[in-house]
Amino acid sequence: QDLLLQISQNVQRIYSHNQQSLRCLVVYGTRPELIKLMPLIRALKEAPHVCAVAVVSTGQHRELLLPLEKYFDVLPDGSMELMLSGQSLASLYNRAEMSMAHLFEHVQPSLVIVQGDTTTAMAAGVAAFHAGIHVVHVEAGLRTGDLSAPFPEEFNRKAIGIICSLCFAPTEVAQNALLIEGVLQDRVFNVGNTVIDALMDASKRPPREVVESGGVLLKSIVERKDGQSSLILTTNTSQLLLNGKHIVLITVHRRENSASGAFSRFGTAVATLATKYPSTQFVVSLHYNPLVRETLIPFWKDFTNIWLMEPPVYPVFVQLLLRVTILLTDSGGLQEEGIALHLPVLIMRTKTERMEGILAGGAKLVGDVVDDIVSATTSLIDDKSCYESMTKAINPYGNGTTSKQIVQILYNHRTNLLLLRPQFLLTFKTQSLVASTNTTTSKLRVRKRVETKHELHIRPHTITVILTGYKREPSLLEKQITELKKSTFKPDEIIFFQNEHHVDFTKVLEQHPDVKHVFNRNWNTKFHGRFTLALLADTEYVAVADDEIVPGEKWLAYAVGFVDREKAIVGNSGRRVKKGILDGSLDYQTSHDSKQGEGFTEVDFVGHWWVGERGLKLSGGEKQRVAIARMILKAPSLVLLDEATSSLDTESERKIQSALAALCKNRTSLIVAHRLSTIIHADEILVLKDGRIAESGRHEDLLNAGGIYAALWSQQQKKNDSNDSSEGVVVEDPPPTSEVDPKN
C-alpha cells in the first residue's frame, strides 16, 4: 500500500503540471513491452499539447527491465514489483489487476495505454475498463485462432481488443481481424509496429563493442561441487563474429513449449546442426526461465561452436542481429525484427500470429519437430538461392513512423477521450444471440453448434471450395454441394461460411456432415467479403463460388487455361470450328467482354476449315496457334504455358507473345520454356537442373550472376545472330517492359 501510494503521488504530480491535456498512463511489465513502448513514450513526452504522460511498471520481468531502463535513461514513475518466485499466472494477474485498480482510483487517468498480450497488459486493461477509463491497445489484432498457442497471450490479446476505445494494429491483416470480430472501423488504425521504430533507432546508433553491458558470451559449462551447472565467462561476441560461414542466433522461451516437451526437441535439433556444421557458430540467448536453462544446457555443454549468452540489453542485441545470418526462434517479436533486417527467420512453433512475415517470404513456420528444424536450417546453410530469396522479403511491419502516427491519432480523438465515457465508444457491429422473440429452436441449435467451431483444420495441398450463405434458398446450397461432390474434380474440403440467420440451412447441413459450417454474425458474405473469408481457410488452393452459381462438372478445369498442342480441336467428329466456340461447353461470345478477343485475329486463322482426327491436317505450328487461340478465348484465371511457341516462326512468335502479354495481365502465369526470350519479363525465373532448382531470380539478376541461365541466354543469342546473317531475317526485339504488366 505504501508503494502504491508513492506511485500515485508521482503520477498526480505529473498530471498537475499539465491540466489542459489528456492524462495518459502507459503501463508495461516485460522487456518486449518496454522496447516497443519506449519510442511511443518519447513521442508522447515531446507532445505536451496532446497529453501529460506518466509511466508505470509492474516489474513482471524485473531482471530484464533494469538494464534496459538504464540504457533508455527513462525510469518509470513507479514500479509495483509484483513478480514473485514460483508465482502462477492467476496469482500474478490477480495482484496486478488489484494494484492497477487501486492506482486508477487515485490518479484518474483519461486513458491507459497497454501493449501486446502480456498478463500486465491484460490486468491493466481490465482494471481500466472496470474504472470507466479509456483503454488504448498498441499492437492489437494479432491472431492465431488457437487459444492455446500462444498461451495465454492469444486470449489476452482478444480480450483486450474487446474493451479498447482505440486499437492500433501493426498490419492490414491485424486490422482486418479486428473488423471481422466486429470492432467498428473508426476505432481501428493500421499504423505499423512500434518495434520497427525502436529497431531503426538502435541500429542507427554508433556501433559500440558488442561485449559491453551484457554482450559477454558464456562459453564453457562446468560442474560445481554441488552438482549444479555453472557458466563461465570466457570470450566475447567481437571475437566470435570473426569466425564461421554462418552465425545462427537462437532464442527459446515460450511457455507452451515447456509444457509440450518442445525444449528438449529444440536442444536435440541445435545439437544435430552443430555436429553437422562445425564451422557454423550457434549463439543462444538464454532466457532467465530456470526450466529453459535446466533443459537446454545439458544438450550443448560439449560443443565448441555453441555459444551461450545472457539476455543482452536491447542495443547489444540489435548489434548482434546485424551480424548474424539466420534466426531460429519461438519468439513473437523477433519475427518482426528479423524480417525488418532482412534476416531469414525460422519459427519453431506450430502456429504464429504474425503470418505477414511468412506471406512476405522472409519467415518459415518449421514447428517443433527435430527433423523439420534441421531440414529447414540445412536448406538455408547449403542452398544459397534459398537463403537469398528469404533475405529479399519486403518488411510488412512498418516504416519507423508508428509512434508519431499514434500521437497524431490521439490528438485527433482528444475530445472524445476527454468528454466521453468508454461505453459510448465500445459498440460493435453485432446483435444479440436471440435476434427476436420468434427465433426458432432450430436456428438456436445451429448457432450453438457452429459458433463454437473456431478452427478450420485443412490438410496441406488440398483443393478447397468456399461457399457462403446470404438470403438464399436452402435448395440452392443443396444443389451446390451435390454438384461439387459428383464433379470431375472433387474438392478435398467444402467450407460454408454464414453470418446472421436470414435463412435456416439446418436441414441441408445435417445431410452433409462433412461440410464445415462456420458461423460468425459479423462476417460479410456478399461480394468481396467471400474472398476475404477464403483467406481464413489455411489452404493453398481455394475456389470461391458465387452464392447464385451452381458449379459444373469441370469447375476447376474452366479456371485453368493451358496450351496443349496435341489436343484434338473438336474431337474426331469433323465438326466445324467457328470463332468463339470452345469444346461446345460455353458461349464465349456472350459470357466474356467483347474486347477479350481483340488483338488475336492473327491466330484465328481456322475459319471454316474441316479438321480431321487429332488435327492431323494441320502443321505443328498451326496446331500450336489453334491451341493458344483456344486458351485465349477461355480467358482463364491461371495461365499454364508449356513450350507454347516452340513450333512457331519468329514473326508469329512475336505477335503471339504480344497477345499473351495482354492475356496474362492481372493473371497468374506459369510458363515452362526453353526459348528464354519468352520469359524475360517474368517476376521470377526458376532454372532446373537434374530435377532441382539450381538458380532463381529475375532475368537481369540471373544474367548478372553469370550462371546456367546466363550461359543458355548467350547460346541462344548467338544462334539467333547466326540465323539472321544466313537468312537475311531481321529479328525484332522482344516486347518492351511497358507492354507487360509488372505485377504479372
Mean pLDDT, each 10-residue run in order, the chain (744 residues): 84 83 91 91 92 90 77 82 79 90 90 93 93 93 85 89 92 88 86 93 62 40 39 43 68 71 86 91 80 80 82 79 88 89 92 88 90 93 91 90 94 80 55 33 35 45 70 76 76 74 73 76 56 54 57 59 42 31 33 36 31 48 65 69 65 70 76 80 88 88 89 83 50 39 40
Kindly name the residue from 137, 253, 254, 654 that is annotated as catalytic: 253
Query: What pLDDT, on the 0 to 100 scale, is given for residue 345?
Result: 95
How far apart are alpha carbons 262 and 369 in whole angstroms?
Answer: 8
468 lies in the same domain as 362: no
- Co-location of 380 and 277 in the same domain: yes
Task: State the pLDDT at residue 339.
Answer: 92
d(CA 472, CA 464): 21
- Pick the last residue of a domain from 139, 157, 192: 192
171/59 same-domain check: yes
Instruction: Assess whether 342 and 487 both reside in one domain.
Output: no
Q: What is the pLDDT of residue 432?
A: 32
Lookup: cell for 57: 511498471
- Are 384 and 512 members of one domain? no
Instruction: Examine the residue annotation and report whether 330 is marked as an active-site residue of this protein.
Output: no
Which candidate in 33, 69, 77, 153 is catalytic? Answer: 153
Q: Is residue 18 part of a domain?
A: yes
Residues 281 and 351 in one domain: yes
Q: What pLDDT is stored for residue 113 in this prediction?
A: 96
Q: 184 lies in a domain?
A: yes
**Host H or E run for residue 130:** helix 119-130
Residue 298 maps to which CATH number? 3.40.50.2000
Pair 226, 186 in one domain: no
**Are 509 and 474 a contacting pair, CB within 8 Å?**
no
381 and 510, same domain (yes or no): no
Last residue of a domain, one of 392, 415, 442: 392
Tell me whether residue 201 is in a domain: no
Residue 253 known to be catalytic: yes
pLDDT recorded at residue 70: 78
* Annotation marks residue 598 as catalytic: no
Q: In angstroms, rounded to a whole number, what is the distance separating the alpha carbons of residues 210 and 217?
A: 10
Catalytic residue among 287, 501, 517, 681: 287
Residue 665's CATH number: 3.40.50.300
Same domain assignment for residues 225 and 311: yes
Question: Residues 205, 255, 459, 576: which is the catalytic one?
Answer: 255
Catalytic member of 33, 69, 117, 197: 117
Q: How far is CA 565 from CA 559, 644, 675, in A?
A: 19, 8, 17
User: Which residue of the set 33, 69, 97, 139 is catalytic?
Assistant: 139
Q: Helix 62-72 crosses helix 31-45 at what angle (to 10 degrees)?
A: 30
Flag whether 629 is in a domain.
yes
| Catalytic annotation present for 287 | yes
Establish if 426 belongs to a structural domain. Answer: no
Tell me whether residue 451 is in a domain: no
Q: b/e map of 372-389 (b: 16 or more CB within 10 Å)? A: bbbebbebbbeeebbbeb
Same domain, 232 and 180: no
Query: Containing domain of residue 682, as a range?
Result: 616-716
In the listed set 122, 157, 192, which residue is the last one of a domain according to the structure?
A: 192
- Answer yes or no: is 487 within a domain: yes
Please write down the HEC assignment for all residues of 271-322.
HHHHHHCCCCEEEEEECCCHHHHHHHHHHHCCCCCEEEECCCCHHHHHHHHC
- Same structural domain, 13 and 136: yes
263 in Cβ contact with 291 (< 8 Å): yes
Examine the residue annotation and report whether 653 is marked as an active-site residue of this protein. Answer: no
Residue 151 confidence (pLDDT): 83
Q: Where are the alpha helices (DSSP H) in 322-369?
A: 333-340, 355-360
Give how many domains the chain has, as a whole number. Answer: 4
User: Are 169 and 237 in the same domain?
Assistant: no
Q: Given this model, what pLDDT does residue 181 score?
A: 83
Query: What would the grid cell of residue 718 be?
Result: 548467338
- Cβ neighbors of 590 (< 8 A, separation 6 or more) are none
**Quick check: is 743 in a domain?**
no
Active site (annotated) includes residue 643 = no
